Structure formats: C-alpha cells, structure tokens
Amino acid sequence: MKVLGLGDNVVDKYVNYRTMYPGGNALNFAVFAKKLQADSAFMGVFGSDEEGQHVAAVVKELGLDNSHSRFVEGENGCARVELKDGDRVFLGSNEGGVTRTAPLTLDAEDKDYLQNFELIHMGLYSHVNHLLPELQNLPAKISYDFSDDFTEEEIQAAIQQVHFGFFSMSNASKAETKAFLKQHFTDKNEVLIVTRGGNSAFAYDGQQFYEVTPVLREPVDTMAAGDSFLTAFLINYLAGADISTAMKKGNEFAGESCMVEGSFGYGKNY
C-alpha cells in the first residue's frame, strides 16, 4: 500500500523542556504509516533554519521518501507548546512558516509521481487546499483532517473533494456528534469520523453509525494522538478491515503513541 502525507511539517517546541520535536499532521501521518508497514512518503516544504534542517534530517534517518519536497529560504513551520500532566497545550505558532508563505505547487513530474499512491492525506493546517481540485484527477483516495477548530466555511471548502474526513469534537454529545456527521456527509465521502478526546469516537458511512471507546492510559504526551488514530484507521481500513475494527486499531495505536514524547520522538535541545 502506497500512501503519502501532503503538506505540513513543523517542529513543536516544548518551552518547559527547551526541546523541539518534529511533527505536523501530514508528516505525522507519513511517519506513522511507515511504522504500520505501509510504503509511505511525505511531500511538503522545508525551511532553511535549524528547525527545518532538524526535521529534514529526521525524515532522512527514518528512510521516508521525501523526494518531491521543496527546500526554501525562510522559517520552517514551528509551534510553541507546553506539557502539563502529559497533556500538550499550544501556546502559539508561526502559522506554518514556509509551508504557508511558499505554498506547494505541482509540476508535471509531481503529478506523475502522485499517480502511484493509493491514499493521499492532508489537513486543515497543511496549506494545500488549493491543490484539492488537481488531486481529483488522481487515482488516490483523499483523506482530510479538519482538526478541532474548523469553521463551517472550511468544511464546505473541502468536504465534497475528500473520501475520508476526520473531526475532533471533544465537547460534543453523542446526539450532537451523530447529527453533525449526518449533516456533513456527501456523495463523495466514504467514511467521516469524529473523535471526542477520552470519550467514544463515532464513524458514519452514509448508512449507519459506528461507535468505539478509546484505550485510556496515563499518557506521557498526547501530542499527535489524533494523527496516530486516523493513520491506523486508514491503513487498516484500506487493507480490508471493517470500520469498527479499523477504529479499534486506531485507538490501540493512539494509545501507544501517547507513550512517546513529542509526535514520534527525535527531540533536540534548542
């Protein structure tokens, strides 16, 4: 199975430890997919600063295909976070750095390259929404993470162009979650999923709802828990698992992810 994370890479700077870790929704997906034995790649924009160099070095060390990424002058994506009792708290960011200021465009070689993938994952902070119309011409299915602070306008800009959509709504009731999923499901969609923090997650396939309770354990760091869940769900679902089983696999993998510092380790002092 060939899959690709398209868009954002960042460093998460933990201010209370003076340590930065590589991350970003699209990069996390690519790294987690590789851990799950998929043939995984990443395509995005790296900055020229120390932060960008660190992420690029880690990607190379992991053996992740990064052959169609761009390297430009400027600040890499960077977020400032604080860890409180294992839970990460965001303090601010440079809003994607060069991923936002030098947005990715596709040339003929990129389009040929992307023909090879079964799934392409992106998200609200990937800064590649402008590529969605071009991606419709590819054989790959499109996965999109709407995160936890989406607007209705942002949903409508993407929902009819993606096969899989993920939303984080930790304060939503079960009834509210079901109503939300039913309201936003379109003919293009295959599965939409809402995670609700430590509460049960719901999926909807246009016909029925599926509910799975997360694996709860004392976390080391909750960073990228959602990214690990959606990655494991997608890899297992595309490999033939039914929706409930794939969600359970997602929960198990997310539980494991919460035992690792940063999104997937590789911290560096700054």
- The reported pTM is 0.95
- The values of phi and psi at residue 173, to 5°, are -75, 170
CATH superfamily of 2-269: Ribokinase (3.40.1190.20)
pLDDT tens per residue, range 38-84? 999 999 999 999 999 999 999 999 999 999 999 999 999 999 998 77
Read off the tokens for 248.
């359970």
- Domain ranges for the chain: 2-269
Lowest-confidence region among 22-36, 128-142, 178-192, 209-223: 209-223
pLDDT tens, position by position, 144-189: 999 999 999 999 999 999 999 999 999 999 999 999 999 999 999 9
Measured CA to CA, the distance from residue 41 to residue 162 in angstroms comes to 19
Question: Do residues 77 and 47 lie in contact, with contact meaning Cβ atoms separated by under 8 Å?
Answer: yes
> Rounded to whole angstroms, how far apart are CA atoms 229 and 227?
5
For 93, other C-beta atoms within 10 Å of its C-beta total 16
pLDDT of 24 > 90? The answer is: yes
Q: Please tell me the distance from the alpha carbon of residue 179 to that of residue 176, in angstroms, as a whole number.
A: 5
